[in-house]
Amino acid sequence: MSADPRTTAPTLGRLTAPAAWHRVDLISDLHLQAAEPATFEAWRQYMAKTPADAVLILGDLFEVWVGDDAAATDPFLQSCAQVLRQCAQRLHVAFMPGNRDFLLGPAFLTDCGVHALSDPCLLLWGDQRILLSHGDALCLDDRAYQAFRQQVRSAAWQTEFLAKPLPERLALARAMRAQSESQKHIGAVCADADAFMALNWLHAAGADRLVHGHTHQPADHPLGSRQRHVLSDWSLDHAPARAQVFRMQREGSITRLDIARASA
């Protein structure tokens, strides 16, 4: 009998912020793709101008990722890599895998100067203990997705998938995206994070605050004396336009900034 994920303590990664950090930006769910140039351009400008000391990307930076070798022949992915590379030269950039780009590997991150974050990860910043996650593991009501997630996060599945020729992997990714889009058209709603599981994670981490993405439902939720903050997705090629940065300050304040203010 498998353990109940709602009561199982998570395996935590850790990120200890240096004393020099005063601002940390959190973003997620940009779903970058060549077909949406306005979102890419907003992200490019933000990464070049943000005054933050660190940008932590909590998953789904890309709409799809079929293996690091795809970047070698894809001009759009090469442009994304250049944005990351230039930003990483002046501040700390870190990436946590999401449900769309969980196959993004160490070769690409190392080439871009980007640090890897495990999911979930505890950010230790002065007196603050902040738990970070993409958030998809918390959405227990989406049982079909949880079964799929368990399958594709296994080492055996990933080894088999990455061994396929690149054109075959791209074709499989297109088919999965088409299925996802069909679910949106019939009105399927993304499940929210399970509150009990989120609170259990916070207790296990000794954290006061959980920040995650995935659900595309940006909001702040009290969990007793603790807080759960959901990040905004980015979409600037379709109405309604949306792109927020979640900025945290060393003294503990938090602000949700639209993309223009975040880059000022």
pLDDT, tens only, 222-259: 999 999 999 999 999 999 999 999 999 999 999 999 99
Peptide bond into 120 cis (omega under 30): yes
Mean pLDDT of 217-222: 96
Confidence of residue 60 (pLDDT cuts 50, 70, 90): very high
For residue 133, the SS3 value is strand
Q: What is the pLDDT of residue 188?
A: 53
Work out the angle at residue 261's Cα, subtended by the Cα atoms of residues 60 and 244, and round it to the nearest 5 degrees: 25
R_g of the chain, CA atoms, integer Å: 18
Mean pLDDT of the chain: 93
Among candidates 195, 232, 226, which has minimal Cα distance to 212? 232
With tokens 């070769």, the residue in question is 107
Q: What residues form DSSP beta bridges with 27?
A: 57
> What is the rounded distance in angstroms from the CA atom of residue 134 to the CA atom of residue 263?
23
Q: What is the pLDDT of residue 167?
A: 94
Residue 113 vs residues 93, 141, 146: alpha-carbon distances, Å: 8, 36, 31
Domains along the chain?
13-137+195-262 (3.60.21.10)
> What is the rounded distance in angstroms from the CA atom of residue 50 to the CA atom of residue 210?
23
Q: What is the pLDDT of residue 184?
A: 55
Tell me the per-residue pLDDT of 121-153, one tens digit each, with 9 for 90 and over. Answer: 999 999 999 999 999 999 999 999 999 999 999
- For residue 29, pLDDT beyond 80: yes
Q: What is the pLDDT of residue 215?
A: 95
Confidence of residue 186 (pLDDT cuts 50, 70, 90): very low
Tell me the per-residue pLDDT of 77-97, one tens digit each, with 9 for 90 and over. Answer: 999 999 999 999 999 999 999
